[in-house]
Amino acid sequence: MIKITDLEKFYRTEEVETIALNKLTIDVKKGEFVAIMGPSGCGKSTLLNILGMLDDPDGGSYVFNGVEVAHFNERKRADLRKHNIGFVFQSFNLIDELTVFENVELPLIYTGVPSSERVKRVEEVLDKMQIMHRRNHYPQQLSGGQQQRVAIARAVVNKPKLILADEPTGNLDSSNGNDVMELLTDLNEHGTTIIMVTHSEHDARYSHRIIRLLDGQTVMENIMI
Amino acid sequence: MIRNFIKTAFRSLTKNKAYSFLNIFGLAIGIACAALIFLWVEDEVNYDSVNVKKERLYISRINEKFDVQVLTHSSTPGVMGPAMKEELPGIANTCRVSDGGTSLLFSRGDKSVFASGKYAEASIFSMFTLPFVQGNARSAFLQVHSLVITEKTARKFFGNEKNVIGQSIRVDNKQDYFVTGVIKDIPENTTLQFEWLMPFQIYFDQSPWLKSWGNMSLLTYVELKPGVNPATVNQQLYNYIQKREPKSIAHVFLFGMKDWHLYNEFKDGKMTGGGQIEYVHLFSVIAWIILLIACINFMNLATARSEKRAREVGVRKVLGAGKRSLIAQFIGEAIFMSLISAAVAVFIVATVLPAFNTLVQKQLIIGFGNPYHILALLLITLACGLIAGSYPSFYLSSFNPVSVLKGMKLKDSWAAIIRKGLVVLQFTASVVLIISTVIVYQQIQHVKNRRLGFNKDNLIEMDLQGKMAESYRPIKQDLLNTGLVENVALADHAIIYGGNNTSSLSWDGKPVGSKILISQRYVTPEFMETSGLKILEGRNLTVTDTGTPYRMIITQSMAKLMGKGSAIGKRVHGDGDTTSATVVGVVNDYVYGNMYGKPDPVMFFSSAPKNTTVMYVRIKPTNNTEKVLAAIQGVMKKDNPAYPFDYRFVDDQFNQMFLSEMLVSKLSRVFAALAIVISCLGLFGLAAYTAERRTKEIGIRKVLGASVSSVTTLLSKDFLQLVILSCVVAFPIAYWLMFNWLKSYQYHIDIQWWVFAVAGIAAVIIALATISFQSIRTAIANPVKSLRSE
């Protein structure tokens, strides 16, 4: 599903050039659950952003579903992204001015799903995430765990092929964190490919494979049994 | 999607109440100001539009070339109208109308009121749009003593009586006139204004001079046939008077009704393209500037608090929103905000319109059902939304989702520079308005305080009515006996307006072919002392000077024209006749007609009371004007009982001559103040934002020992620099604008440097007061709190 080869990314300031990804090569197959680990500044989030087509690589190749996307323009990337990829963030990133229902509905609006179909699908996913009773609440009225459930609901409502999760339990206590990991595992078991950046060895154990990065390169891969 | 945008916009509005208030209120004031100005502009532009035949109606104008100038006026020979209609095929109709307003005493029962009106030919009813409420145009002027009145005049005499046709009104205590028609009240934005109309024939029969082609004293309106080019008719008119009066220097041309109000400025016999239209342009520009200032507030506040919106932009982008859809969202939000502001603006306009009407002396109304007004408001609103939303939407939609979702501080450098640029633009406009306001005010005061040559204060003017001329001596004696009056005199023309004038004069030493326009006035000998003119040489006029040989007093400028040495004893001859007049005295020059112009030469002749039209009463300086007026009224009631006491103060008339300038002065004061208020609202918002953004920095500085004053200075310094920069930009612009404006006045002030200093200091003080509230509040906050909040 994902094949990146010799991927490079640099950050430049006036005086310093930092290498975030250094000729990185990774393959992720459809239906896999991959955890990416490594110390701060090793390039995990940069990789996730490039995989999510939020950022451009400076070199190398990125093939998504058989299509080379490394040099897509912003519009094409946005189009590919909204139909194929869901995001889950550490800090949830819900829009404060929208209710739970409206936050989850948002990706469907951008993909042009008709209103009646939207209601059906949002209710379905809220039900699945057990957050239906909070549908008319605003994000700031929810606990962290509930907010992350909403964020996951929003990530999956469009039935994406790939979910990218950036430390999804980072802002949660262990109990809520476990719940979130169970939800992701469940989604993966139903066929969604998941790539998750995490600092937590505990969370990483939910994945099929751990890729460890250092200085923008793969230093080790662990296959989980 | 739109519903989602509106929801977000509305919730964002209600969540950030202070920010929303600043934005909406600022924009609402801007839109309200613009709406008021555009209402005024609409009224000006639609002047005379009540007339269906506006495009085909003209007034005959005359150009007369004198030595120093070409005089353009509307006084035409009394016999010209019918001749034109008969001889020129392009002319459909003409109408002769008496010049100015004739004030007559109308009496019915115990009601006696002065009413101002005109003598006109019956064609006035077909040429001008004057709808009849009672009676009809066809039969209105069939009888000689017919009277057509406006609804308002009818109400004065007949109350709400339904049919007043055939009712009589006694005019001037002499003759009964019968009402033959009542016409709808004339809109205020119409040139032709009157309370009554009477058949022209009455006036024509009373005025023998109207039969001469050499005398020019009434107005001739012309209606062209459809499709006729006025230029063709003008060619035929150029030497039209010369065919009958070969020596005349008067050349006729047609001046279209569509230009009467807005383009009524002539130089060298041609339209300059100036006139009231300049004020229309000026205020339209001011309206757009105020709107722009309000839009800038919006832009600045929107980009300043972009950090708060950044995460939303990031999330939307991650979820698939394209740049275009985000731009549409933010412009949509601006338009939404602009719509709310427009609703508030309509409320503001409705509230202040009566006061505005008093200010501009109009009866403007908001047309809630007028599609043009609604469309104009929508267009202004849309324009504001687009202008205000344009830059923020491009700025906000350009955020990189990766950076904003990571919570990285936004690189604000470009946005900050643009924001500062916009603040400079706002304050530049405000400072230019402040300076212009001060200079316009100074110029008006300069002219109002001009030494006119006569004393306009404590001088009362009355039209001679009934037995006032006949009983002049006893009236004068009775007035003096009150002890409140210093002197009384009679004249044939009001002192501050132009009177009769002629260029057909010669004297020894006058260059051959030279044409100089000289005003001639007929007065009683007390006139000089009563008006405050000083005899510089020779003697005053006496009662015996009324007959031949004529003796006269001239003004200094006339004496100068007559050559070196004393003018006493020099003689002036009428061209083409044997009459002559000898100079017996010289008085100082005085300003009349155009208060900005130089004093033109005048000749004064002694006149018998019966040949005069106005009485002047010089009252002793007093704090109790009412008592003086009551005393004068008592005398008039006794000596001229058939007429009500009607008077005016000369200094009021003088003030009337500055209506346009006073209007500009008042409006520029109001709009300059509002421009500053709107700018300050924006500055207040920006200061609040800066204070909020720098909370942590201030906290650290305070922990490290910074004092309240040093923190306040730190926060205020940047804004003050911007205001000072605005002054630097504004000064040359204001100087250039005002220099050009003043150039159009012959008698004007010099621009003084201190005006700029005062405007600059005022702008700095106002800005400082606006910012200091936020700065001090932040500076005195407990640093522990601000650091903990990080």
Rg (CA), chain B: 34
Give the pLDDT score at B129.
Answer: 96
Q: What is the pLDDT of residue B694?
A: 80
CA–CA min distance A225, chain B (Å): 33
Q: Which pLDDT score, from 0 to 100, does residue A204 have? A: 93
Give the DSSP letter string of B519-567. EEEEE-TTHHHHHT--EEEE----GGGGSSSEEEEEEHHHHHHT-SS--
Do B1 and A105 count as a contact with CB atoms less than 8 A apart?
Answer: no
Tell me which residue in A79, A93, A110 faces B314 most closely, judged by beta carbons.
A93
- Residue B450: φ, ψ to 5°: -60, 140
Whole-angstrom distance, CA of residue B555 vs CA of residue B288: 49
Cβ separation A97–B8 shorter than 8 A: yes
Q: Peptide bond before B371: cis, by omega within 30 degrees of 0?
A: no
Q: Residue B384: CA atoms inside 13 Å, Cβ hemisphere, count? A: 37
The residue among B307, B319, B406 with the most chain A CBs within 10 A of its CB, best to mutate, is B319
H helix intervals, B66-136: 80-87, 124-127
User: Token digits for B604?
Assistant: 């004064």
The ipTM of this complex is: 0.80
Estimate the share of chain B in helix, then strand, then coil, as percent rounded to the nearest 5.
50, 20, 30
Residue A49: list chain B partners with CB under 8 A: 402
B chain contacts of residue A78, beta-carbon cutoff 8 Å: 317, 320-322
Residue, of B37 and B18, whose pLDDT is higher: B37
Whether A74 sits inside 8 A of B322 (CB atoms) is yes
pLDDT digits (tens, 9 = 90+) for B180-200: 999 999 998 999 999 999 999
CB contact under 8 A, A78 and B1: no
In B, which residues are within 8 Å of A93 by CB distance? 311, 314-315, 318, 405
- Min CA distance, B12 vs chain A (Å)? 6
pLDDT confidence of residue B790: 41
Strand-pair partners of A2: A28, A64
Chain A positions touching B406 (Cβ under 8 A) are 45
B598, pLDDT greater than 80: yes
Residue B397 pLDDT: 86
Nearest 5°: the CA angle B452, B453, B455 is 80
Task: Give B-chain residues touching A113 at CB under 8 angstroms.
Answer: none
What three-state secondary structure class fits B286? helix
Contacts of B109 (CB under 8 A, 6+ apart): none
**φ/ψ of residue B592, rounded to 5:** -145, 165
Tokens read off for B547 = 């007959």
User: In this structure, what is the dihedral angle of CA atoms B431, B433, B439, B443, given to the nearest 10 degrees?
Assistant: 180
Alpha helix segments (H runs only) across B111-229? 124-127, 137-140, 151-158, 200-206
In chain B, which residue's Cα lies nearest the Cα of A106? B319
Model pLDDT for residues A59-101, shown as the tens digit of each residue: 999 999 999 998 888 788 888 888 899 999 888 888 888 899 9
Tell me which residues of chain A have a C-beta less than 8 Å from any C-beta of chain B.
45, 49, 52, 54-55, 74-75, 78-79, 81-83, 87, 89, 91, 93-98, 102, 105-107, 109-111, 154
Nearest residue in chain A measured CA to CA from B308? A96
Please indicate whether, in this complex, the C-beta atoms of B11 and A106 are within 8 angstroms of each other. no
Q: How many helices (H) and strands (E) would you count in chain A?
A: 7, 10
Task: Judge whether residue B410 has pLDDT over 70.
Answer: no
What 3-state DSSP class applies to A209?
strand
If one counts every other C-beta atom within 10 angstroms of the C-beta of residue B247, the result is: 10
Please write the tens of the pLDDT for every residue from B355-384: 999 888 888 988 888 888 899 999 999 999
Residue corresponding to tokens 């002192």:
B495
Phi/psi for A93 (5° steps) reads 50, 50
- Give CA torsion, residues A68, A73, A79, A82, to 10 deg: 80
Mean pLDDT across B53-70: 90
Query: Average per-residue pLDDT in chain B?
Result: 88
* Binding-site residues on chain B for chain A (CB distance < 8 A): 1, 4, 7-8, 11-12, 15, 311-312, 314-323, 325, 400-402, 405-407
- Mutate: best of B318, B326, B408, B411, partner A, most A CBs <10 A: B318
Residues of B in contact with A74 (CB under 8 A): 322-323
Among all residues of chain B, which has the CA nearest to that of A96?
A: B312
Q: What pLDDT score was predicted for residue B412?
A: 62
B789 Cα to chain A: minimum distance (Å): 17
Which residues of chain A are within 8 Å of residue B329 when distances are taken between CB atoms? none
Confidence of residue B515 (pLDDT cuts 50, 70, 90): confident
User: What pLDDT band is residue B396 in, cutting at 50, 70 and 90?
Assistant: confident
**Is-contact B563 B506, C-beta < 8 A?**
no
Give, for all 225 residues of chain A, the pLDDT tens digit: 899 999 999 888 777 888 889 999 999 999 999 999 999 888 888 899 899 888 889 999 999 999 999 888 878 888 888 889 999 988 888 888 889 999 999 889 888 899 999 999 999 999 988 899 999 999 989 998 899 989 999 998 988 999 999 999 988 888 888 988 998 999 999 999 999 999 999 999 999 999 999 988 888 877 876
Percent of chain B with pLDDT over 70: 98
Q: Which residue of B lies nearest to A82 if distances are taken between CA atoms?
A: B320
Which CA distances in Å does B692 have to B542, B617, B706, B715? 84, 69, 18, 11
Between CA A216 and CA B405 the distance in angstroms is: 21
> Which residues in chain A are closer than 8 Å to B401, comparing Cβ atoms?
54
- By CA distance, what is A108's nearest residue in B? B319
pLDDT, position B409? 60
Q: What is the pTM of this model?
A: 0.79
Question: Would the pLDDT of B450 be above 80?
Answer: yes
Mutate to test the interface with B, among A106, A108, A113 (most CBs of B within 10 A): A106
